[in-house]
Structure 1
Amino acid sequence: MSEVVPRRALTYRRDLDGLRGIAVTAVVAYHLGVPFASGGFVGVDVFFVLSGFLITSIIASELEAGTFSIASFYDRRIRRIVPALVFVCAATTVLALAFLLPDELKEFASSLIATALSVSNFWCLRHSGYFDSAAETQPLFHTWSLGVEEQFYIVFPLLLMAAFKWWRGRIRTIIWLLFAGSLFLSMVRLADHPQSTFFLLPTRAWELLAGSILALGFVPKPASRLLRDAAGALGLLAIAIAVFGYTSKTPFPGLAALLPCLGAAAVIWAGQGENTSARLLAAGPLVALGLISYSLYLWHWPLIVFANLLNVEALTELQKLAVAGTSIALAALTWRFIEQPFRRRGAGGFTRPAILWSGGVGLGSLVAVSLILISWQGFPDRFSQQVLDLAAAESDSSPWRAKCHFDGTAKGKYENSCVLGEAVPPKIIVYADSHGAEFSAVLGLLAKARRESIREITASGCPPAAHFAYPRRVACARYNENMLAKLVAIAPATIIIAANSHAWTNEGPGRYWEGLRNSLTALSAAGHRLIVLGPIPNLPNHMPAPATVARWTNRGNDPADFRFSPDERFPGVDANLRSIASEVNATYVPVAPALCNDGLCSAYLEDAVLYFDDNHLSVSGANVLAKKLLVPILWPENKMAGARRR
């Protein structure tokens, strides 16, 4: 006897388009930096549940009727996904040619190939985390979710076909086991493998399978209007809590993804009969947004990226509204003139061979253009040599990062930290997150010139704060516990403390500051001389400084005139660091006086770009600041001009 409830052909439900409208609005609002939508990224998870439900409903009903064809299924998927994707990617490529620098254009081209081949989630995994500022420079970064869905579409229909044919009595068990296994994998891998957990299908499949479970009738339909109303209301509430309550610091997906996914599932489940939530979701504006949601999702991110690339400061509210409005307008036009014609069959529509041919040509053309862009090195002749030299500062990071910079897990051990300079016991230690890596490289060269050495203890995402852990780097607490135990046991030394404190101030009321105070107190009590570096001003638009200064110069400006407003949190962070340093009798070294004047800061001094991204100093920048700020303290008799670049 079948475990699957026989289904009629899926009927159109306006409430599902309304739910799509909410999901895409949440994503766009989050990407535009709307404060109250700090968890809007969960809109993608709502899309996953919806996709799983709709796709499984179609496949299951056709399998029950004996009409399912894998060729027909992929024909529908190609019609739905490829035309708009190719069109938006082609338009984005034109913008990329106009505005991206050579290295940026080559990286864009590689992402375009990954998008065309439905593996952009793997590309994103290799290049950046979803919540990292580097993602904000990639116009096609948002296509990672399409990669996840398309990989699911390749595997799941074949699995369901096999289950219907050979394991019909075990379909329920198979799907529930896959759901539970994927969810369990997502939970256990999140702490030590946050990026792969976020981007890859094995740890995301459970979200699509949540929709499949509903589509296959494994959860009985709600029997009463009261139950449907309650489920729909609770589902919308769960999604709202995630959208308004989560932040980029929430460990995700893992257990946290259950809230929006179960919320979406509850709304879908309740909508199998009349209920209040379904009636609200069927409102015209939400349905209209839902209908264009795919094209809107495709358009909004490239427009945001290019708007940020062309601005020195963060986007104003008016500019954000303009980007949102342009995205909606382009999405509506794309839906009307690209999506709809290609989805039509029969008279006036596209036949299956025509769809396969045009889809193949479109995707193949994207790959071909990408290969040309890469082989021609991003067409550097579009820019002057000065602009190219400025942009090259993006590679001006510490040469010791690969060998000496820890990855923010408990694997980082004191014994494995690097000693830079001469082969003598170090008297200077840099204990920091990633903001200390370039200072370590420069100080290592300075120490070597004096026949001395320094020890580098730096780790990505792990500020030197006791018992403190960034939610996506929970191992940082153990890492710092191990490091502090070693540092308090060694002979007194000079320890330089540096951190991207801007990034950690939102982690609970005072948790970061308390952890930093505890670390400095312990180190001071152990007899170490402490030097606390002030915060590095962050660029407000999260764009890499080298490319931003290069584009500024390409418009006919002098790079020395480039100025930016520091992050609005800067004064508070500076004051807190100064106060804590005073409490533990540490020497406080503010960075702002060397970079900023009249509320504006420089990213270019002494013929060098000072950053290699939006917040990390380049080696050149660290050299400039080390000469100005640290050398007089560490080596007061030193008269060297500074460290020479490698």
Structure 2
Amino acid sequence: MTKYRPEIDGLRAVAVVAVVLFHLNSDFLIGGYYGVDVFFVISGYLITGIIVKDLENDTFKMSKFWIRRVKRLVPLLLTVVIITILVLPFFTFKPIYNDILKDIIPAVFSYFNFHAYFNFGDYWGPAADKSFFLHTWSLSVEEQFYLFYPLLLIIIKKYFKSFLKPLIFITLISLGLFVCFVKFKTHLTFYMLPFRFWELSAGGVIACLPKKSTLNKIYNTVFPIIGLLLIFISYFFAEKTISYIVVLPVVGTALIIYFISVNDITGKLLSSSIFVHIGKLSYSLYLWHWPIIVLFKNLEFRFLGVNEWYIYLFIIIATYLLSVLSFKWIETKTRNYRNTPKLVLLGVGLCLALIAYYKSPYFNIHYPSLYNQQTYYLQQYDVSPTQVILKKGNPLIYNVTVLNRSSADNDAFKKQGILKRINDKNPEILVLGDSHGAMWAKTLEEACGELKISSSVYTTNASKPFFNLHDLDDQASNEFFTKKERIDFAKSIVSNIHKWKIKMVVISCRWEALSDDNRSEFENLMVYLKDKNIKMLVINQPPRISIVNNLNVSQYVSYLKIDPKNGFHTISLSQDKVIKGNQFVAQLAKKYSNVMVFDVFSRLYNKDQMKITHNKDVLYFDDDHLSDSGTRFFKQDLKKTMTKELD
């Protein structure tokens, strides 16, 4: 086990290249994430060999083992973390920095797998995709393995004659747990050591098997080829989440490690200079590639229109160059340096100091704005009994005046909505909607006022306004309404439509997010209003700025240093879901003569550009909500449309 095996480094290259390609673009190698499982088997094999040898010679010391692991893994990890958090403020949108800081401690102290499971859930989800240190989950699994595994081997040595049979038994137990849970606890089995232990201990089993020289030499040629094929099958034919296929790279890696010889075809390939070179850099490549990829995702707006292959090439070159430097100056220097533990403590202290600084008032996360200040009306026009409140300090509302709902309107959902009477007249227009309805409420109220028309608003932020018209006493509760409150809401709307003799219902929603029940209830509302000879004006959904998901667009435009005199029309982003939602609305409206659609989408979007600003106004609040300036941009057209339909 002390003899250097170049083919192991070659196998590391097979693993790390797959992971990097997968992270660059999963379409390149759909199962590239199984490269991590190859790493797990290699680690288990090497660590078991080291520990077993020391135990058999009575030279094993736990403290020595852990210090050696710290020297091997932690200095480079700290280097990547520190450089990343020092560089990011110069490139990324600073209001997201608090989310980045939350990931540092779990990454440094090797519990990122727990952090990811409880905070991100799906490894393939959008929250995980934004984390600069997501990839350290696998390092955390390994470090946790190193913490307990030596103790396990010490116990085995004390109570058993050999290591092999107990390790096989424990490996099968962990494999059994994985098989039992992977289908219905996928995220748990992905992140947690008990369900990954078998992959690492499989390498341990290989380390404890008899030497292969006693076996038929033909196996030494055939089985490594089979092993490599199994690994590549998992890379190319995997599902988009972990599954039973993981057995293939684990078995394949085990076959290669045990049977391979540098003299056979697989051994010559994996021992070749290019494979060995990449394999030696594999730890550096693994640590550097993901922060660079996430950085470019954060800079996506700056690279709109740039050929993505140039970006991929730059990421690969940058990752490689940083890896060469860090391998030479960090990995090789600190591995045997006696004061490395002190450097590690210094690095941890620096991380903590940087976190403290970035959380302090001395670090300004805001950008000076050249644009007009926004006013946020969604809370004011939300009739939900339980509201979504954007609290002071939330970066989403920086340089935004937030108006809260009047206490007089706390029961508006079951009384008269948020009522605006003109000349003491009953409302002629009723406004319905979710948060997209609430974003239009102020502009619609103003437009009605200018037309001398009274109005009432029943918009519900974060929940759809639709309800069961066939049985008003049968309504579903949600996070913001109890069942009783939802019944009161439905009855109030129906009652006031009759009492006030409403002439028009204006409705706006996030149409891309309708459930099947929502769609059915929406059409039932159209039928109901048609039977009552009431007009319906449907405002379609504006285009989404998907790459500023839930961010303050006004601040984002300032971060990009966009001068108002030039305006900001971004290259069109994919709008497939929004278009599909708007098409549903348009097709449904054609069925009913009382329904017309007010088209916002096409006025902000064409195949070449998407309108974000107008003069000194930013038209968006966040990625999918228009600002107050954005809705007022359409006020005159809305007035003309309402006047025409009401005449």
Work out whether the TM-score is over 0.5: yes
Residue aligning to 1:146: 139
Q: Is the 8 A contact 1:116 1:363 kept in 2?
A: yes
CA distance in 2, matches of 1:222, 1:525: 74
- Give how far 1:325 is off: 0.7
Q: Which residue of 1 aligns with 2:414?
A: 423
Q: 2:297 aligns with which of 308, 312, 334?
A: 308
SS at match of 1:36: coil
What does residue range 542-621 of structure 1 map to in structure 2 within 5 Å? 542=547, 544=549, 546=551, 550=555, 552-558=557-563, 561-567=567-573, 570=575, 574=579, 578=583, 582=587, 592-603=601-612, 607-608=617-618, 610=620, 612=622, 617-618=624-625, 620=627
The answer to whether the Cα contact below 8 Å between 2:511 and 2:578 also exists between their aligned partners in 1 is no
- Could you say if the C-alpha distance between residues 214 and 597 of structure 1 is closer, same or farther in structure 2, counting changes exceeding 3 Å? same
State the Cα distance separating 1:255 from its structure 2 match. Answer: 2.3
Question: 2:456 maps to which residue?
Answer: 450
Matched length: 547
Structure 2 Cα separation of the partners of residues 176 and 356 of structure 1: 36
Query: Out of 436, 440, 457, which is 1:439 matched to?
Result: 436
2:103 pairs, out of 103, 106, 111, with 111
> Does the 8 Å contact 2:19/2:32 carry over to 1?
yes
- Distance in 2 between the 1:440 and 1:534 partners? 10
Does residue 104 of structure 2 align to residue 91 of structure 1?
Answer: no
- The aligned amino acid for 2:354 is V
Relative distance call for 1:39 and 1:595 in structure 2 (3 A) is farther
User: Which 5+ residue runs of structure 1 have no aligned equivalent?
Assistant: 1-8, 345-349, 405-418, 431-435, 459-489, 502-515, 640-646
1:233 corresponds, among 212, 225, 229, to 225
Aligned mate of 2:368, from 384, 399, 415: 384
From 1, 4, 24, the equivalent of 2:16 is 24
> RMSD over aligned Cα, in angstroms?
5.1
Indicate the residue corresponding to 1:245 in structure 2: 237
- State how far apart, in whole Å, the 1-side matches of 2:539 and 2:110 are: 47
Letter in 1 for 2:95: D
Q: Kindly tell me: are residues 153 and 529 of structure 1, through their superposed partners in 2, closer, same or farther at Cα, counting changes over 3 Å?
A: farther
CA deviation after TM superposition for structure 1 residue 293, in Å = 0.8
1:340 counterpart SS class: helix
1:135 partnered with 2:115: no
AA at the equivalent of 2:149 = F
Rate the CA distance shift 1:597–1:521 in 2: closer, same or farther, 3 A: closer
1:442 Cα offset (Å): 5.1
Tell me which of 189, 206, 210 is aligned to 1:214. Answer: 206
Deviation (angstroms), 1:298:
1.3
Aligned to 1:146, the other structure's residue is in SS state helix
Distance 1:438 1:284, change over 3 A: farther
Equivalent residue in structure 2 for 1:164, among 151, 157, 161: 157
Q: Does 1:299 align with 2:288?
A: yes
Aligned-residue identity in percent? 24
Q: Which residue matches 2:276? A: 287
Deviation at 1:358, TM superposition (A): 1.9
CA deviation map 1:260-305 (0-9, x unaligned) = 3333333323326854223222221111111011111111122222
In the alignment, which residue of structure 1 is the partner of 2:345? 360
Question: Is this contact kept in 1: 2:181–2:189, CA < 8 A?
Answer: no
Map Cα deviations across residues 525-572 of structure 1 (whole Å, 9 max, x no partner): 995649896795454xx454737864552353136833333445x469
State the SS of the aligned residue for 2:28. Answer: helix
User: Aligned-pair distance for 1:323?
Assistant: 1.7
Match for residue 318 of structure 1? 310
List runs of 5+ in structure 2 lacking aligned partners: 389-409, 418-429, 446-453, 465-489, 495-506, 528-537
1:262 lines up with 2:251 in the alignment: yes
Query: Cα distance 1:68–1:401, how it changes in 2: closer, same or farther (>3 A)?
Result: farther
SS in 2 for 1:327: helix
CA contact (8 A) 1:535 1:591 kept: yes
Deviations 1:318-345 (A, max 9, x none): 122122111101101111121112223x
Counterparts in 2 of 1:603 and 1:385: CA distance versus 1, 3 Å: closer
- d(CA) in 1 for partners of 2:87 and 2:441? 42
- 1:180 equivalenced with 2:180 (yes/no): no
Amino acid at match of 1:597: N
Deviation at 1:181, TM superposition (A): 3.5
The match for 2:114 is 122
Q: Is the contact between residue 105 and residue 378 of structure 1 (CA under 8 Å) also seen in structure 2? A: no
Aligned CA distance change for structure 1 residues 454 and 403 (closer, same or farther; 3 Å) = closer
- Residues 222 and 228 in structure 1, CA contact (< 8 A), matched pair in contact too: no
Cα 1:572/1:211, change in 2 over 3 Å = same
Q: Which structure carries more relative contact order (alpha carbon 8 Å, separation 6+)?
A: 1
- When residues 602 and 210 of structure 1 are mapped into structure 2, their CA distance, relative to the original with a 3 A threshold, is farther
Provide the C-alpha distance between the structure 1 equivalents of 2:383 and 2:114, rounded to a whole number of angstroms: 26
- How many angstroms apart in 2 are the aligned matches of 1:68 and 1:388? 68
Secondary structure of the corresponding residue to residue 601 of structure 1: strand
The structural deviation recorded for 1:624 is 4.1
Following superposition, the deviation at residue 21 of structure 1 comes to: 0.9
CA shift for structure 1 position 429:
13
Change in CA separation of 1:125 and 1:624 when aligned onto 2, cut-off 3 Å? farther
Map 1:450-529 → 2, pairs under 5 A: 450=456, 452=458, 498-499=511-512, 519=516, 523=520, 529=526
Question: Per-residue deviation at 1:172?
Answer: 2.9
TM superposition score normalised by structure 1: 0.69
Q: Which moved more, 1:120-129 or 1:45-54?
A: 120-129
For 2:150, give the aligned amino acid: P
Q: For 1:546, what is the secondary structure of its paired residue?
A: coil
SS at match of 2:551: helix
Q: Which residue among 256, 267, 292 is the counterpart of 1:278?
A: 267
Q: Is this contact kept in 1: 2:174–2:197, CA < 8 A? A: no
Is contact 1:438–1:619 with CA below 8 Å preserved after alignment? no
Q: What is the CA–CA distance in structure 1 between the aligned matches of 2:228 and 2:411, rounded to whole Å?
A: 55
How many Å separate the matches in 2 of 1:174 and 1:188?
21
Q: Is the 8 A contact 1:111 1:120 kept in 2?
A: yes
Residue identity in the other structure for 1:563: H
| Contact persistence 1:533–1:591 (CA under 8 A) | yes
Q: Is the 8 A contact 1:133 1:543 kept in 2?
A: no
Q: Which amino acid aligns with 1:499?
A: E
Say if 1:601 and 1:288 are closer, same or farther in 2 by CA, change over 3 A. Answer: same
For residues 581 and 287 of structure 2, the distance between their equivalents in structure 1, rounded to whole angstroms, comes to 42
1:242 aligned partner, one-letter code: S
Distance 1:604 1:69, change over 3 A: farther
Change in 2 beyond 3 A, CA 1:102/1:171 = same
Q: What amino acid maps onto 2:368 in structure 1?
A: S
Asked if residue 42 in structure 1 is aligned to residue 34 in structure 2, the reply is yes
Q: Which residue number corresponds to residue 479 of structure 1?
A: none
